[in-house]
Structure 1
């Protein structure tokens, strides 16, 4: 039996859950060896994934609910190795993983971090100072997985040297229990800093065992924020309507049709052109941002054939950033950036044994097109955002081979693209540039004993040219290449310090070398190395999560700093559950070390001071009475009103912020 809040009461069910979300448990055995029961310890807020060779962190629905994030980027801000640029605003934020992913303060994306929503890759173009790809409403998602480094990214991209973020939207089954055919969930939320308001409504419907449907509608509104000193941060206000429609129909036990469409928009008036900071000299624009993501998939999985689990999927993505200025005529300030991606994907998962080796093989082929335009009043695309088409074909394959305690996973991806210029002033219509690449990696995981395991990865990537590079004769013909090595150790043990406790930790070291650089000005070669630690501890008295990361970077085979390498950071969460897990109280402490490993003196990469920010969270979900299953949540962010600017951000972090929410499934 699985209760609504995710607590598990049967050991048989526990054994089937992923490591990251399985509550710690131990078996009590008498001196004579008789089994007398199972002690369920509960779980920490996040847990640690110890059974993979990749540096992967999963945020499940419970953690997403407890964090009460105002933006998608805030969901990711506590993952080791991940640094968020301006996390309090959807449009002016960006992702940095191990120093890669955004040119902080200038571009929201550099192609070296993949963001994937329901299997649809998002964002792949640089739009100067106009924001990134994190506009989507965080309440849409039930799980977010972050893989640091290229480990599992070959399924989606040739160039994800920094990492891959996979977000999965909610399903009807998440709200239907005990044979329900209909459920309705309503949530209201409020936050004090910016006088923010949130409402979301979810309708889940499953009239029989063949069809289930979910419809989501939400609206989030925030005013301008203030930092710890009470100084208002201009242009941090936003209004974010969102929606989701998702359905699945089972023709039989073997054939399933599913589809989804999600929508988010952000309409800003009289804001700075620079979405990353409200610098007056950049001038004022109206900025309208819209994101639509959709897919339709048909899965065929015959029950008597382990070699076939075939999915055919059509994907569509539409991203818009429309800019207009009443006072400035430059096409930089008056352009409609519009990027669409349409693709058809066929993927198969097969399992078989051969010569004592268990194989789990994933193969896929994707054929697609990206179309990009940035129309201005001139009738042509903006000079800084050239338009055209990107036609591509990609094939990928992964074979997870298990031999006893050893798992070896080779991966490869072949991709070819053809970029064609269209409606640009600087590059003639029809000008074509073709590129192809063969990339891949191999990882190994070895379980030394019941507790310890070691793992390692070696990967080669090529970050292929973007349509933005059409205006650069060197970059448009050159791929950005990188080699990454990772090694680490993990531990998973019970009864470590007390009879009924559990400890998990994972340490990952990495070294990345990038050459033929096209992302950063005057940077041909980048060398990055670092270490990341994740730890989770639970016992009947309390739970604790701890993570820390350290990254160092240099450029051009010199000792010169790579300015986008993040600052060192550590995060500790301590919590306790009471009253049969109805009440959960926790505190989170974030410490960022000062960073002067930079040649910049201004902006996002200017030196930053150390800081310590403390937050508190409380939830109450009664299991009986008139308020049964109502979720009451309260959070205090930056409780002591610390004034600080995280390194790579252009704005100070927001000051003290009280968040309250109440939700109920009917």
Structure 2
């Protein structure tokens, strides 16, 4: 059903691309992306990047309790294992979170430039412990072509989170401002309070502080049963300061620090499950923080727009085993924790990442060619505490990258290169095993685009990347030693078309369409083992699919948003046999229909249909269709409510009983949930 629907929609896109229409005449370039909004979702036009932005308005409307819930509406993105920060993970085009670890190192998650949440810790989610209300936008780059400024080995994509600024509340002028948000959800009696205080004492100086507390009891599934291990309480805060100075305000210095703590008592060690299994239960404290210091120099000179960003991310997970909670326990709790098999339950984990990135963006011409060049260097130091299932050590990396967007009339050619070297050093000295490992790699891609001048553009790209050895492989096993001597390789091809125009079907309307095909191959694999034989790695993985995004808005305020993905993946064992790729994304289409009355009222209905679904064990799941309703009201006509926003929502309005794609069979999706939020700005 979904495949037929997507084929029909793709045909509609092709027909629309062929239509003559009065289009916006723009030349945004492939780095200087034009963002157009007809409905709720911002869509990119004039770029080879598969890029989707969830802005602050949509963040508020969705009333998500985790960042993962924000981005799972993006084509090709899957939310793995539910609605708690402890267990959920982000999977993009079949890579990222999986059924064993919260990450496979093939997606990058960044907060204000700091790299976070990417460690392979057994049966714990993506470690993205933070609150959605801290952010002004979440940006998702899918695939490899847009990743070379952010890291190596990125196959699925990049999630970039940007925190709020004080000027967002003060209007960019000196004075005080802020907001107070209160949220409530009926399922699990969840609530959140978010307080933002902003102060600009003078031009060029701004300060922001935010404190958010989110609390949720266990949720209820569509069948009325409790979803175990779904309760959480996470206090978060954000402190941010920015100073702008120099001639023509060409220089700025920005400091950002955010922190979230989760203190969980008597919960299953395995966060993917709803009840304690053979690993038993634990008390777990997760303390995660990230800080960035950024200097920017942007004088009135096209050759100079320099940014230097120093970031530090620190996460500590302290775990205390609850004596007698495991059916496998033998002897005392100390004996249990000393076991090679179950010692993972008692392990404390800590990893720290320090990164310095210096880049410059230059605009210049060489004859008929106009260049928009981004070049930079990067130094990274990652240190991880030794633990039972997570080898400790230090990973030092140096990298250099350049992305040069070259425009010749209507043609844009964008080559990108990244060179990265790494030096791994184990924190343990093991007999007969090296303690230091060194590797380097050169990777890159090429994007091509052509704009016809009537609102239609076509684009394509080819990208190659390598994943260098990881701290996770610093062990004495034959498998680890083999992986430490390799680099994991992948290539991705993409081809697509986009259209944007106004007055297309009616006076004052606007339409943006974007569709792209992708094909990815992963080989020399070091992160996935063959089914039934953990001593052998898969031979290769192939994935392909089509992604579609569309937004249409009318002068009357009626709008339509469409996002869809259809794809498939295959994994190949060393013996030549093949099977469906265990982590491949499901086929899904999402349609939103809404109506806006100026800026006062916004009503919308969202339908999400998914098929080709499987749970964490690979068992097929039935198709599912979920309906969500949302309303936003700004009572500007009521004097005492001026500056207020009231939001209502009903998630899973028909109370469907289902398990999410790639989730554990026991972790069902939440049933019907009523949500309400009140925001007062001052």
* 2: CA distance, partners of 1:427 / 1:192: 58
**Matching residue of 1:562:** 581
Q: Is the 8 A contact 1:47 1:504 kept in 2?
A: no
Aligned to 2:102, what secondary structure does the other structure show? coil
* 2: CA distance, partners of 1:215 / 1:434: 42
* 2: CA distance, partners of 1:63 / 1:427: 55
**CA deviations over 1:614-663 (Å, ceiling 9, x no partner):** 01000101223221120101111001100011221122111011111101
> What is the RMSD of the two structures over their aligned residues, measured on CA atoms?
2.0
Q: What pairs up with 1:233-312 in 2 under 5 angstroms?
A: 233-252=227-246, 253-281=249-277, 282-303=279-300, 305-312=301-308
The question of 1:543 aligning with 2:555 is answered no
Q: What pairs up with 1:317-356 in 2 under 5 angstroms?
A: 317-327=313-323, 328=333, 329-330=336-337, 331-356=343-368
TM-score, normalising length: structure 2: 0.88
Pairing partner for 2:120 from 113, 116, 126 = 126
Q: Is the 8 A contact 2:411 2:449 kept in 1?
A: yes
What is the CA-CA distance between 1:18 and the residue it aligns to? Answer: 8.3
**Matching residue of 2:427:** 422
* 1: CA distance, partners of 2:260 / 2:617: 27
Q: What pairs up with 1:103-502 in 2 under 5 angstroms?
A: 103=98, 105-177=99-171, 179-252=173-246, 253-281=249-277, 282-303=279-300, 305-327=301-323, 328=333, 329-330=336-337, 331-374=343-386, 381-382=387-388, 384-423=389-428, 431-471=435-475, 472-502=480-510
**CA deviations over 1:216-257 (Å, ceiling 9, x no partner):** 111000001111111111111000100111111122212211
Aligned to 1:647, what secondary structure does the other structure show? coil
* 1: CA distance, partners of 2:82 / 2:52: 19
The structure-2 alpha-carbon separation of the partners of 1:389 and 1:447, relative to structure 1 and needing over 3 Å to count, comes to: same
- Name stretches of at least 5 consecutive residues in structure 2 with no aligned partner: 1-23, 324-332, 338-342, 531-537
Q: Is the 8 A contact 1:604 1:647 kept in 2?
A: no
Aligned to 2:522, what secondary structure does the other structure show? strand
What is the CA-CA distance between 1:577 and the residue it aligns to? Answer: 1.1
**Matching residue of 1:62:** 57
**CA deviations over 1:495-539 (Å, ceiling 9, x no partner):** 222222221111110000110111111222001111001011111
* 1: CA distance, partners of 2:430 / 2:641: 64
**CA deviations over 1:370-422 (Å, ceiling 9, x no partner):** 00004xxxxxx31x210010011111111111111111111111100111110
What is the CA-CA distance between 1:116 and the residue it aligns to? Answer: 1.0
The structure-2 alpha-carbon separation of the partners of 1:91 and 1:538, relative to structure 1 and needing over 3 Å to count, comes to: same
Aligned to 2:148, what secondary structure does the other structure show? helix
* 1: CA distance, partners of 2:87 / 2:294: 33
**Matching residue of 1:622:** 635
**Matching residue of 1:581:** 599
The structure-2 alpha-carbon separation of the partners of 1:581 and 1:21, relative to structure 1 and needing over 3 Å to count, comes to: farther
* 2: CA distance, partners of 1:230 / 1:84: 22
Q: Is the 8 A contact 2:39 2:561 kept in 1?
A: yes
* 2: CA distance, partners of 1:627 / 1:18: 39
**Matching residue of 1:46:** 41
Moved more, 550-559 or 629-638: 550-559
* 1: CA distance, partners of 2:632 / 2:230: 28
**Matching residue of 2:513:** 505
What is the CA-CA distance between 1:210 and the residue it aligns to? Answer: 1.2
Aligned to 1:560, what secondary structure does the other structure show? strand
Aligned to 2:413, what secondary structure does the other structure show? strand
Q: Is the 8 A contact 1:77 1:87 kept in 2?
A: no
* 2: CA distance, partners of 1:481 / 1:318: 29
**Matching residue of 2:527:** 519
* 2: CA distance, partners of 1:426 / 1:112: 31
Q: Is the 8 A contact 1:125 1:467 kept in 2?
A: no
Pairing partner for 2:675 from 649, 659, 665 = 659
Q: Is the 8 A contact 1:248 1:256 kept in 2?
A: yes
The structure-2 alpha-carbon separation of the partners of 1:163 and 1:436, relative to structure 1 and needing over 3 Å to count, comes to: same
The structure-2 alpha-carbon separation of the partners of 1:20 and 1:145, relative to structure 1 and needing over 3 Å to count, comes to: farther
Aligned to 1:136, what secondary structure does the other structure show? coil
**Matching residue of 1:31:** none
What is the CA-CA distance between 1:300 and the residue it aligns to? Answer: 1.7
Q: Is the 8 A contact 1:387 1:424 kept in 2?
A: no
**Matching residue of 1:648:** 662
Q: Is the 8 A contact 1:352 1:359 kept in 2?
A: yes
* 1: CA distance, partners of 2:309 / 2:33: 29
TM-score, normalising length: structure 1: 0.90
* 1: CA distance, partners of 2:132 / 2:377: 30
The structure-2 alpha-carbon separation of the partners of 1:595 and 1:79, relative to structure 1 and needing over 3 Å to count, comes to: same
Q: Is the 8 A contact 1:189 1:199 kept in 2?
A: yes
Aligned to 2:512, what secondary structure does the other structure show? strand
* 1: CA distance, partners of 2:470 / 2:119: 6
